[in-house]
A and B are shown apart, each in its own frame.
Chain A
C-alpha cells in the first residue's frame, strides 16, 4: 500500500522534472556556426529528407544518396558548378576516335583515395569492370539503375551493352571502348553513379556480396553504409541510421580543399519539420523547400533557386480513344490555360514549357510549334475531329508532391475546368503515387494523365530520348519519323549536327503532340544567412566543399 503512494509521487516528480528540464535547457547553444568572423572551418548541418540507401555510387538512384556520394567521390569528368557543361575531374583531358567509340582519358596524377590507395588507370578499369560484371540481383534497375539505363547490359550479354572494354595503358592514361558510337557518353559519365571507388575498399568491404533468395535479396557487404571510399574533398566519417551522415574534410585532397571542417547531413523526412528545425537553429539549410513557404522565409533566410531541370506534362495514351485523333490532342493543347495555372499555382521563377525538355539543355528548340490558350480554336478542332461529345479519362496522382507538380490535384482541377469549358467530358481518375499511379501510367492503363520528369544528366537524350525514342505503353504510339530522328541524334558525334537533330526532333514531337508539356520549375533551397558559397546546379551536383560559414 505504501508502495503505491510512492509510485504516484515518483510519477508526479517525473512530470515536474520534465518541466524543470524544459526551463533550464535553453542556454545550450545550437550546433554548427563557424567561429565569429572567420571563414575557415566550422560545421554545417544540412537536412535531407531520407537516409542514404547506400553510399556506394554504383547502387543508388535516389537524390538523397547521390547528394552524399557527390561529396565523397569523383568521376572522370564532372559538370561545371552551376551548369550542365562538362569539365575535367579525375581525368585532366580526353580525346575520342572520330566514330566516338574509343575514348582516351589522361588522368590527374598524385591523387589518393581516402584509404590511401593510389588513384590510377587500373583503378578506373577496376571500377568499369566491376559494373560490367554485375551478376544476378545487382543487375536490377532498382540497384544499378544508371548503368542499366545508359550502358544497357552486362558481361553475361543477356542484353547488349554499350560498354566493351577498359585498358590501362600506363598509370595515367586509360582507354574506354564502346560497342557503338555514343555522343552522350561524356555527359553520362558526369553522373555520380560512375564515380570511382577505391578498388581496395570495394574488395575489403565486400561491396558486391549479395545473398539471400531471389525475393529476399541481401546486401551483405559493409562498403556502402560503413566504408564508402572515394577521392573527394570530403570523406565519410560516420552514418547513424534515421539520424545523420557525418562527412569530414579530406586534408589530403588533390584540389581545392574543403573550407568547412565537417558537414552533417541530418535526416528529417517531414518537410514542415525541416523548416521548423531551420527556424529553431538546429540546421543551417535544406533542399526542396515548400514553394508556399518561400515568401515567408525570404525575410530571414537566403532562398536559392536551382535552374529548372525538369518538365511537367499532360500525357496522352494514343491507344485510348479519342486520343488517337490528332485534332482532339490539339484541342486539348489549345484548351489548357497553362499560363494561368503557372501564375496561380506554381512558385515564382517557374516557366510555361513549350517542349519536353528544359531550355538549359542543348537541342532545345526556341521555335517549335506552340499551342497558346485559345478556347475557340479548341472548340473548332473538336468539331473538325468528328468526335461527338468527346469523353476522356483524366488521371492525377494523390499523396505526392513533385518539384514539377507541387500540388497535382490543383493542376487537375484547373485543367479539368479548362477542358469542360470547350466541351470535353472529363472522367476523373486518381490513385496514390506509389505504386498505383506509376503503375497505371507506365503500363498504359491511364488515358490522359499528369506526369513529369527530372533529368539525370544534361543531355537531350535523357529527356526526349527517354520518352519518345521507341514505343512505350505510357504514350502508346508508333511514329517512325520521331523514333529515327532520336536514334540518329543519339549516335551523331558532331555536336552541331547533334543539336540540330534534337531541334528537329523537338519540332516533330510538338507537331505530333504525344502530350502537352506545361511547366519547368526550379526547386528551392533555404539557408541561414551566414552560409556562403553554395552554388546551385541544375543537375543537383552541388558540392559542400565550397561552402563556408561567416559571421
Chain B
C-alpha cells in the first residue's frame, strides 16, 4: 500500500510540470489583452497599457517569462495577485480552509441524508418514499445552485430571520481564527458563541452546495442496495436465519458502499476545487470565488498557483478514494 501511494505521488510530478506549462501558455493566450487592460477598465489608454506592460515585464519573450516563473516557484514563491496585491500563498492559506469547511459541511449534509434516504428507498422499492426520492433527486440535480441559494436565503433569512445570508461569521464577531477553519477555531478556543455563529453561517451554503451530491448519492445508494439485495449471499444469509438488521448492516450496506464511496470521493474532489456559484451567492471567501475573479482580471500569479494547487488536491482526493477501496473491500488489493 505504501509503495502504491509513493508511486502515485511520484506520478504527480510530470502531471504538475506539464500542467504548469499548459496553464502558463493558456492564460497568456487568452484573447483580448492582459492584466493591464483588465485592471484599468475605461482608463486603459494605450499609453497606460504600454507603461504597465513595460514595467511588469509582460512584453518579454514567453520563454523568459516562464523561466523566471519556474525560478520563483522553485523558491516556493508563487508571487502576488495583481488585483489584491497579496501573496498568493497567503491567500490560498486563507481561502482553502473556507472551501474545505464548506465542502465538508456540504458532504456531511449530502451523505448524511443521501445514504439513509437511498437505502430506505431501495428497501421500499416502488413504494411512496422510493418514488419521492427518485423525483426529489431529479429535482436536486436539475435546480440551479444559485437559484436554490437565493430561495433558501429568502425563506430562512429574509422571511424567518433564522439564519444569516452572507459570510462565515457575524460582522461584529471578533473571534480569532488561528487555523482558518472557523468551526474548528471556535472549538479550539472553546468559544461557544463563535461556534454557534460559524455553524449557523455554514448551514445554508452547505445545503445549497450539497443538493447535487445529495441527489447523486441518494440515487447511487438506492441502485447499489437494489443490486445487492438480490445477490445470492443475501439469500444465503436469510436462509441461515440471520435477522434483517444484521443482514442489512453486514451484507447489504457494506457491499453497497463501494460505488457510494467512489461517488463521495469524486464529488468531494469537485467541491474542493471551488464552488463558484455557492461561494458567490453566500459571499463565502473561498477558492471558487477567487479563481473566477482571477480569470476576469487575467491575474496570472493567482491562476498559475491556484490551478496547480487544485490539481494537486484533486489527484490527492482520488488517491484517498482508491486507498479506501482496499479498506472497504478486502478483495481489492492495491499494487
Contacts and interface: CB of A to CB of B under 8 A. Distances in A.
Contacts of B331: none
A324 to B, nearest CB: 20
Given A14-B108, A25-B162, A435 B171 contact: no
B37 A442 contact: yes
A273 B166 contact: yes
B115 interface: yes
B112 A225 contact: no
A473 interface: yes
A435 B33 contact: yes
B335 interface: no
B72 to A, nearest CB: 6
Contacts of A218: 79-80, 87
A442 B58 CA distance: 18
Interface stretch (A15-23, A407-415, A487-495): A15-23
B209 interface: no
A145 B154 contact: no
Contacts of A137: 55-56
A126 B199 CA distance: 48
B42 A451 contact: yes
B250 A282 contact: no
Interface string A136-150: 110111100100110
A340 interface: no
Contacts of A401: none
B65 A215 contact: yes
Nearest to A16: B112
A287 to B, nearest CB: 15
B219 interface: no
A438 B79 contact: no
B164 A12 contact: no
A177 to B, nearest CB: 26
Interface in B289-314: 289, 293, 296-298, 300-301
Contacts of B283: 267-270, 273, 277
A117 B55 CA distance: 34
Nearest to B297: A434
B55 A136 contact: yes
A272 interface: yes
A148 B98 CA distance: 38
Nearest to A51: B84
A26 B45 contact: no
Interface in B215-264: 249-250, 253-254, 257
Contacts of B254: 1, 4
Contacts of A472: 45-46
Contacts of A212: 72, 79-80
Interface string A261-299: 000101111101100110111110000000000000000
A435 B298 contact: yes
Contact of A140 (B33, B42, B52, B297): B52
Contacts of B8: none
A163 B33 CA distance: 32
B84 to A, nearest CB: 6
B40 A438 contact: yes
Interface string A57-71: 000010000000000
Contact of B203 (A18, A440, A474): A18
Nearest to B160: A26
A443 interface: yes
Report which residue of B84, B112, B254, B282 has the largest number of chain A beta carbons within 10 angstroms of its beta carbon.
B112
Interface string B7-48: 000000000000000000000000111111111111111101
Given A1-B250, A15-B113, A141-B52, A282 B165 contact: yes
Report which residue of A218, A280, A281 has the largest number of chain B beta carbons within 10 angstroms of its beta carbon.
A280
Contacts of B32: 431-432, 435-437, 439-440
Contacts of A244: 171
B57 A141 contact: no
A213 B71 CA distance: 11
A270 B46 contact: no
A399 B285 CA distance: 21
A23 B79 CA distance: 45
B100 interface: no
A1 B164 CA distance: 40
Nearest to B277: A270
A434 B292 CA distance: 12
Contacts of B58: 215
Contacts of B197: 28
Q: Is the interface of A mostly helix, strand, loop or mixed?
A: mixed
B193 to A, nearest CB: 9
A28 to B, nearest CB: 8
Nearest to B95: A242
How many chain A residues sit at the interface, stated as a range, is 35 or more
Contacts of A318: none
A521 to B, nearest CB: 15
Contact of B249 (A1, A219, A452): A1
Interface string B62-97: 000100110010000001101111110001001100
Contacts of A15: 108-109, 112-113
Nearest to A47: B166
B86 A269 contact: no
Interface string A419-454: 000000000000111111111101100000001111
B190 interface: no
B31 A436 contact: yes
A26 B161 contact: yes
Report which residue of B42, B197, B285, B301 has the largest number of chain A beta carbons within 10 angstroms of its beta carbon.
B42
A56 B251 CA distance: 65
B43 A141 contact: yes
B285 A241 contact: yes
B142 interface: no
Contacts of B158: 276, 279-280
A472 B47 CA distance: 10
B315 interface: no
B178 interface: no
A198 to B, nearest CB: 21
A43 interface: yes
A32 B298 contact: no
A312 to B, nearest CB: 11
A32 B157 contact: no
Contacts of A1: 249-250, 254
A442 B31 CA distance: 15
Contact of A435 (B38, B85, B87): B38
A141 B94 contact: no
A431 B160 CA distance: 42
Given A216-B80, A264-B171, A442-B37, 5 more contacts: A8-B116, A213-B72, A277-B283, A442-B45, A472-B45
Interface of B: 31-46, 48-49, 51-52, 55-58, 60, 65, 68-69, 72, 79-80, 82-87, 91, 94-95, 98, 105, 108-109, 111-113, 115-116, 150, 153-154, 156-158, 160-172, 196-197, 199-200, 203, 206, 249-250, 253-254, 257, 280-283, 285, 289, 293, 296-298, 300-301
14 contacts: A22-B162, A22-B203, A31-B171, A139-B51, A142-B82, A212-B80, A213-B68, A242-B289, A243-B169, A279-B158, A280-B153, A432-B32, A434-B37, A435-B36
Interface of A: 1, 4-5, 8, 11-15, 18, 21-23, 25-26, 28, 30-32, 43, 45, 51, 53-54, 61, 136-137, 139-142, 145, 148-149, 212-219, 224-225, 241-244, 264, 266-270, 272-273, 276-277, 279-283, 399, 431-440, 442-443, 451-454, 472-474
A-B pairs with the 8 shortest C-beta distances?
A242-B285, A436-B32, A214-B57, A435-B37, A439-B33, A15-B112, A435-B38, A215-B57
